[in-house]
Amino acid sequence: MKAIPSNFSRYDKNVLMFNSISLSKNRKWICDTKVPLNKSVEETFQEIISKLPESDLLFDGCSFENKEYLETFGFKSLTFGKEAIIDLSKDIFQKKSLQELVRRGKRHGSMVEINYTLENKKELRNFIQKTSHAKKPQLKNLFASSFQSHHRLFVFKGSDKWIAAMMLSLKDKKYIQTELILRCSDAPVGVMEALIYDIVIKLKNEGFTYWSLGAVPFVEFDAKLFSLSWFINFIGRKIRFAYNYQGLFNFKNKFNPIWEPYFLCYKNTLKPIHIFKLSKESNLFKLVFHNILLKFHLRYEK
């Protein structure tokens, strides 16, 4: 499963595009990266490194293969979580409990694929405002959040109303990944499972071999005590009340995925201040702070 990092996506243009966010004078976080369909992972890394030769680069969402390749350029790495990958050659809906959820969900509508248009892009933005997390700060720079022409958008609709949606992008010709998982705040039980069930059937029919449901940070990591990796994951587990990674893990785990390690790869020394700034640039810090205030507000009312 040698593919681009999960923060990258494939598109049908001939030019590699990426965003570089400064975390310090030399530290640059590479994100929002669009890779031409025929450009290899190795060529992609080489081109980015050659364009920023004096910078200490940081790539997130790296696979074990990505990590090994970047080590040849002097990069180091730390474990940040795990990525849930569905093997589409297997039947992931064998559990009766999952089958029952799909059955319940299908009573409320069906899946349609939505083509990219400016109107549908606006429709997705409007739908996001109806989701349960709409009033919270939204994570950014970790995945695509805006519908673009190289994305695929699958919507579970009932009576012409959007109930749930998933936006996907290519990692490779036969390997697809999830960018957004959304459902309206009053979505009936089982609609997300029903949507995933229909997407799996469609992807299998199209010849895809793997589908990444995305990464979950702070879970099942191996790290030396008091190392930077241990510190990051320790802090991450302490803010579970503000960022429910465990709920995300439980949801994805019900589809019996392959859990692969998820790495941050970086050149030279990575300092805690860089992680803090990365959290700020991704809006994770703002999300945590928002939930802390919300938590105290709820206690106050009680």
**What are the domain boundaries of the chain?**
8-82+216-301, 87-212
Categorize the per-residue pLDDT at 300 as very low, low, confident or very high, splitting at 50, 70 and 90: very low
Q: Where are the beta strands (DSSP E) in 67-109?
A: 75-87
Residues 194-245: tens digit of each pLDDT: 999 999 999 999 999 999 999 887 665 555 544 555 555 555 555 555 556 7
Q: Which tokens in the block code for residue 211? A: 């589908």
Instruction: Tell me: pLDDT of 285 over 80.
Output: no
Instruction: Tell me: pLDDT of 181 over 70.
Output: yes
pLDDT for residue 55: 96
Categorize the per-residue pLDDT at 88 as very low, low, confident or very high, splitting at 50, 70 and 90: very high
109 Cβ neighbours under 8 A, 6+ residues apart = 156, 157, 158, 159, 161, 163, 191
Look up residue 13 and give its DSSP letter.
S
Class of domain 87-212: alpha beta
If one compares 137 and 230, the residue with the highest pLDDT of the two is 137
Dist. CA 194–CA 283, nearest whole Å: 30
Q: DSSP assignment of 119-178, as one string? A: HHHHHHHHHHTTBTTTTSPPP-SSS--S--TT-EEEEEEETTEEEEEEEEEEEETTEEEE
User: What end-to-end distance do the CA atoms of the chain give, in Å?
Assistant: 50
Are the CB atoms for 152 and 113 separated by under 8 Å? yes
- Cα–Cα distance list, 159 to 102, 111, 125, 163 (Å): 18, 12, 20, 10
Dist. CA 13–CA 42, nearest whole Å: 18
Residues 37-51: tens digit of each pLDDT: 999 999 999 999 999
Distance of CA 100 to the CA centre of its chain: 27
pLDDT for residue 246: 79
% of residues, the chain, pLDDT over 70 = 85
Residues 23-42: tens digit of each pLDDT: 999 999 999 999 999 999 99
If one compares 291 and 83, the residue with the highest pLDDT of the two is 83
Instruction: Tell me: pLDDT of 94 over 60.
Output: yes
